[in-house]
Copies of this chain bind each other. A is one copy, B any other.
Amino acid sequence: MSHIAIIGCGLVGRAWAIVFARAGREVVLWDAAAGEGEAAIARIERNFADLAAAGLVAQPAEALRRIRIAPDLATALAGAAYAQESVFEEVETKRQIFRAIDACIGPETAVGSSSSGIPASAFTEEIACRARCLIAHPVNPPYLIPVVELVPAPWTDRATVQRVRALMESVGQAPVELTREIEGFIINRLQGVLLMEAWRLAEEGYASVADIDRTVTDGLGLRWSFLGPFETIDLNAPGGVADYARRLGALYCRIAASRDVHQPWGSELIAEVERQRRAILPQSQLAERGEWRDRRLMALAVHKRDAER
């Protein structure tokens, strides 16, 4: 099997390296900044130690040895089955790296961009290899959260989408395939509509930020950790999803229609939400709580793996 190239070794690129190396693939890192590859490998080693302690990687030393650093972009790409691009999310930066990739890529390599919002059509239109480029958007960190959105540009080959889907499945990810581009793709659209309603409810004083969070952590989110929104309602009416839609569709339509004015979150609202969050969690403990989140995600990954057996 030919190797996987990781283009950009920041937080997202490193996490992708872990995904591929853990699954047995050879991984070649490249970053425009000197020393970034070495720094990435040191951090990946610590991540592998945590994953091994949680039972989420069997042979961390072997996995780490599958990752090496390329001296330049052309070497990283030479003979690669796939390249995952994770540079800074800014359209001109994306355009530049895709032009550089285009200049040295072989016909055997597909390229996925980790872009969480900018569609591939914004930065691949004018390059020769554009039919083999698409968005492969992860949720961080992809070695704990398996979903990856595959979003083709209008000129992306159907075969490329299928190939990248198969690759992602082969390394244990859960690819989701969009038929075409849309702002926010699916994940950020679903998260976005829920966030907009949550912020409005806080703004109008219906409940505290902590209580709104609790409706999800002790309610909706429990089912959603293993049942999607469609399967949830399919199981929530005696006759399944169509029965549910006839019973409750009108209610949800009224709720959606009650928010016809869409305004940005104002500075007073942002200050109030921040005040409530900082009362729950001081700024100085944000990083520590982020580490707690990652431990909880690891424990949940183990739980789900065992529950699905």
A contact residues vs B (CB 8 Å cutoff): 117, 139, 144-147, 149, 174, 176-180, 182-184, 186-198, 201-202, 205-231, 233-235, 239-242, 245-246, 249-260, 262-265, 270-271, 273-274, 277-278, 280-281, 283, 286, 289-290, 293, 296-297, 299-301, 303-304, 307
Contacts and interface: CB of A to CB of B under 8 A. Distances in A.
11 contacts: A139-B219, A147-B214, A176-B211, A178-B206, A212-B230, A213-B228, A222-B297, A234-B281, A240-B286, A257-B262, A296-B307
Copies in the complex: 2
Nearest to A306: B299
A258 B189 CA distance: 10
B145 A176 contact: no
Contact of A293 (B223, B249, B301): B223
Contacts of A301: 222
Contacts of A217: 174, 224-228
B300 A192 contact: no
A207 B224 contact: no
Contacts of A286: 234-235, 240
A227 B290 CA distance: 11
Contact of A216 (B146, B228, B233, B239): B228
Contacts of A229: 191, 194-195, 198, 212-213, 216
Contact of A194 (B188, B193, B239, B271): B193
A270 B245 contact: yes
Contacts of A240: 274, 277-278, 283, 286
B226 A300 contact: yes
Contacts of A186: 201, 206-207, 211-212, 215
Contacts of A222: 144-145, 225, 297, 300-301, 304
A219 B140 CA distance: 9
A283 B256 CA distance: 29
B258 A260 contact: no
